[in-house]
Structure 1
Amino acid sequence: MTASQDFLISDTDADLVRRLVDSQFPQYGHLPIEYAATGWDNVMFRIGSDLAARFPRREAALDPQRNEITWLGTVARPLTTGFPEIIHVAESTHSFPYPWTITRWVHGLRAMSVAPQDRTPAAFELGRQLALLHQPAPEGAPVNPYRGLPLSSREDVLLQRIKDAPELAELLPLWNAAIAAPPPAMPRTWCHGDIHPGNYVLGADHTLAALIDFGDLTSGDPAVDLGNAWASFDAQGRELFFASYLENCSPALAADPGLLPRARGWVIATTIAAVLTSDLSTPDFVRMARWAKAQLLDDMAG
């Protein structure tokens, strides 16, 4: 096994995970291990009822993992909702060539498993939590090469993806408006970087329980997180989401005239075009991207 290989642990590798956990954290040897979820960059197994082991699936996931290990405690400090606190960082070994982590298990329902119309109870609180998160980032904060930069940095990739999937051309007017929008009023805020229905958790009543997967956290344009509104909610949910965000964010962000156009640009680039042209996309992500596209087109028509 070499460090250049991708997808090193699959949903069927609970025995391997058992050995990896026991070798470095024998205190958890009495707890059962079972597969939990797979994302683009990581695979997760539950350890008992309150912990999880999270493994990078590919080398490209290592820099985001390092940022999460280094910065998550700082970024999550203002939040009043749950998040997957990192408890242990495991070393790479001959059995698995990358570092991996043990985190608190966040109890609840992955929002992606709920129909967009049924996520509305989470919309107001999700807007508030993102407003709390979008604080000025310090010098030395990470910069994600794909998230939170000027949208013009994504244009070449976006236009190529439209060539690969001509159906995306319907979104070009919104993309062009996003590119032409004023730049961020606060260009160095903390951003989650990858907010979408797969990365927040709902309680039994479908209210927000936690934000998860901070691997793409970055300093940059907070609009990158707000594009989630079209991936997550219907028109009613978006209205609640943005009302809450604008009520709770800083005055500079609330007065930013380019915030919403740039948010539309970010959901086009990082959710719709990226998912619909990726070989890694699962059916859940494809449904999410098609929902977001339909919501944007409805907004444009209305």
Structure 2
Amino acid sequence: MLHQMTSTPTADDGLPPTLESTPPAEVDITVDLLRALLSDQHPDLADRELTVAANGWDNVIVRIGADLLARLPRRRLAASLVLHEQRWLPGLAEGLPISVPSPVREGRPGLGYPWAWSICPWFDGDMAADVALADPSREADRLGSFLHALHRPAPADAPSNPYRDVPVTALLPRIRDNLERLGPGRDHLAELVDELAPTPAWHGPPVWVHGDLHAANLLVTDDRISTVLDFGDLTSGDPAVDLAVAWMLFDADARRRFRTAAGGGEPVDDATWDRARLWAVHLGLNFLLHSADSERFARMGDRLLRAVTGP
């Protein structure tokens, strides 16, 4: 079983109308490099077995022994995201009912590696994108309660994210352009986008949002969602961006339970739910447009766009 933090590509401006693959790394991250960094900064861990577990869009994940991992940015664009996790996630984790990989140690630039990096707990499990939930209604309650706990008011100096802390209606030109790029046969999606376009914006205070909550960033252990991964896109804003996960995981009945749990016992209001559905369209399109080297994301995108046009 694998613990992997999977970042979703967030910007598609300027991409050609084809499926896109993982961008090249700007730094060559190897086991030898990490061992040297550990020897220099965390020598008590330097003799442990090291294994590359994932090489994603933003980070390389290297397992350190049985219970830890190193998370090292592979692109400059991701370097600041690690700093956000180091600053904010330990405090947020204290009030959350599902485990999160809060950093337990910090790494500094050194030995030719240019950015901060983190050491986090290793969690065993299977990605929710790859396994069926044994009890979707129960997990809808649990994940909804997790988001209700996370979506607390955020401070003024919370990190910003130009792809997630914007009104989803501001993304309508991109959404429509992405529909065109996918080709014909998407009339039902275009009609849904037109239906959701007038949805009112979020007028509440900015709340903490995960920003990249999808089925490949959830681990399942013993038939339960056990860990919420990858807070690199942590930001503040409209909770609707996280609520889009409802269409990635649940059928209509479980989505209703999720909506009530995420609202703290009362269903999330209609406008927020409609914005979440529009976010789901946006994310589903991005999954498909960036899935050239990921069967998992292609599958996730197809499932999401099917669900979001259903009941």
| Deviation for aligned residue 1:276 | 1.4
Q: 1:14 aligns with which of 14, 26, 31?
A: 31
Query: Matched residues in 1 for 2:228 and 2:254: separation?
Result: 17
Query: Matched residues in 2 for 1:91 and 1:265: separation?
Result: 39
After superposition, where does 1:63-142 map in structure 2 within 5 Å? 63-115=80-132, 121-142=138-159
Distance change in 2, residues 1:155/1:63 (3 Å): farther
Structure 1 counterpart of 2:207? 189
Q: Tell me the matched-pair count.
A: 288
Q: Could you tell me whether the CA contact under 8 Å between 1:122 and 1:202 is conserved in 2? A: no
Higher relative contact order (CA 8 A, sep 6+): 2
TM-score, normalisation: structure 2: 0.84
Identical amino acids, percent of aligned pairs? 33
| Deviation for aligned residue 1:263 | 0.3
Q: Could you tell me whether the CA contact under 8 Å between 2:37 and 2:111 is conserved in 1? A: no
Structure 2 counterpart of 1:267? 280
| Deviation for aligned residue 1:279 | 5.9
Distance change in 2, residues 1:227/1:5 (3 Å): closer
Q: Which moved more, 1:277-286 or 1:52-61?
A: 277-286
- Name the structure with the higher helix share: 1
Q: For 1:224-267, what per-residue CA distance to the aligned partner results, in whole angstroms no more than 9, with x for missing partners?
A: 0000111122334323322322344xx7xx46330111001111
Q: Could you tell me whether the CA contact under 8 Å between 1:117 and 1:234 is conserved in 2? A: no
Q: Which moved more, 1:91-100 or 1:139-148?
A: 91-100
Q: CA RMSD in A?
A: 2.4
| Deviation for aligned residue 1:67 | 1.7
Q: 2:43 aligns with which of 14, 21, 26?
A: 26
Please tell me whether residue 256 in structure 1 is matched to residue 269 in structure 2: yes
Report the secondary structure of 1:86's partner residue. Answer: coil
Question: Which sections of structure 2, spanning at least 5 residues, go unmatched?
Answer: 1-22
TM-score, normalisation: structure 1: 0.86
Structure 1 counterpart of 2:309? 297
Query: Matched residues in 2 for 1:85 and 1:75: separation?
Result: 9
Q: 2:229 aligns with which of 204, 212, 230?
A: 212
Query: Matched residues in 1 for 2:136 and 2:63: separation?
Result: 25
Distance change in 2, residues 1:280/1:186 (3 Å): farther
Query: Matched residues in 1 for 2:291 and 2:36: separation?
Result: 31
Q: Which amino acid aligns with 1:186?
A: G
